[in-house]
Structure 1
Amino acid sequence: MATVWTTCPNTEGYLPLPITTDRLITRAFHLSDLDAYRTLLRDPGAMEGEPIMDPAESQQELQRVLPPFTTDLLLGIFLRNPNGSEGELIGDGGMFRRADDNGVPRNWFEFAYRFKQEHWSRGYATEFGHAFMRFWWSLPRQQVSFEVAPSTLDRRETSQARERVIASVHKSNPRSERVLNKLGFEVFLSEPYDVDPMNHWLLQENSSILRPSAVEVKCTSKSGQTIKLAEGERITGDEIEERFGTLHLA
Structure 2
Amino acid sequence: MPSENPASKIKVQTTLPRHPFPPNTARSPLKTERLIIRPLTQDDLPALHALRTQPEVMVCTALGRIDADISETQAKLDPFLPPGDADTYNPGICLASTGELIGLGGVFRPTSELGWPEVGYMIRKEHWGKGYATEFLRAYVRDWWGLPREKAEVFVDGDSLEDDVGKGESVREMLCAIVEEGNMGSTRVVEKSGFRKFKAWTVKSRRAGQEGEDITLVGFVNVGLEESA
Following superposition, the deviation at residue 113 of structure 1 comes to 0.5
Aligned length: 202
Deviations 1:35-79 (A, max 9, x none): 111111111222121010312111111112214423321111111
Are 2:35 and 1:24 aligned? yes
**TM-score, length basis structure 2:** 0.80
Matches for 1:173-188 after TM superposition, within 5 Å: 173-188=183-198
Take 2:92 and 2:11, find their aligned partners in 1: how far apart are those partners?
Answer: 33
1:13 aligns to what? Answer: 22
Structure 2, unaligned runs of 5 or more: 1-8, 204-212
Are 1:78 and 2:94 matched, yes or no?
A: yes
Matches within 5 A, 1:224-243: 232-233=228-229
Letter in 2 for 1:164: M
Q: Which moved more, 1:153-162 or 1:138-147?
A: 153-162
Match of 1:212 in 2: none
Q: After the TM superposition, which segments of 4 or more aligned residues of structure 1 sit over 3 Å from their partners?
A: 97-100, 192-196
RMSD: 2.3
Question: In the alignment, is residue 169 of structure 1 matched against residue 179 of structure 2?
Answer: yes
- Cα distance in 2, alignment partners of residues 97 and 12 from structure 1: 11
Deviation at 1:181, TM superposition (A): 0.9
Deviation at 1:200, TM superposition (A): 0.9
Q: Which amino acid aligns with 1:13?
A: P
What is the CA distance between 1:203 and its match in structure 2? Answer: 1.1
Cα distance in 2 for partners of 1:36, 1:45 equals 16
Q: 1:207 to 1:9 in 2, by over 3 A?
A: same
Partner SS for 1:148: strand
**Maintained 8 Å contact 1:97/1:107:** no
C-alpha distance in 1, partners of 2:82/2:174?
A: 24
Considering Cα pairs closer than 8 Å and 6+ residues apart, tell me whether 1 or 2 has the greater RCO. Answer: 2
Match of residue 110 from structure 1 = 118
2:31 aligned with 1:39: no
Q: Which residue of the partner structure matches residue 68 of structure 2?
A: 53
Structure with higher Rg: it is: 1
- CA–CA distance in 1 between the matches of 2:190 and 2:106? 13
TM-score for the superposition, normalised by structure 1 = 0.74
Counterpart CA distance in 1 for 2:111 and 2:22 is 22
Q: CA contact under 8 A between 1:29 and 1:67: conserved in structure 2? A: no
Q: Classify 1:196/1:13 alpha carbon distance in 2 versus 1 (closer, same or farther; 3 Å).
A: closer
CA contact (8 A) 1:98 1:106 kept: no
Q: In structure 2, what is the Cα distance between the partners aligned to 1:13 and 1:157?
A: 33
Identity, in percent, stands at: 35
Aligned to 1:202: 221
Cα deviation 1:126-165 (Å, max 9, x = unaligned): 1001111111111111111121112222203642111001
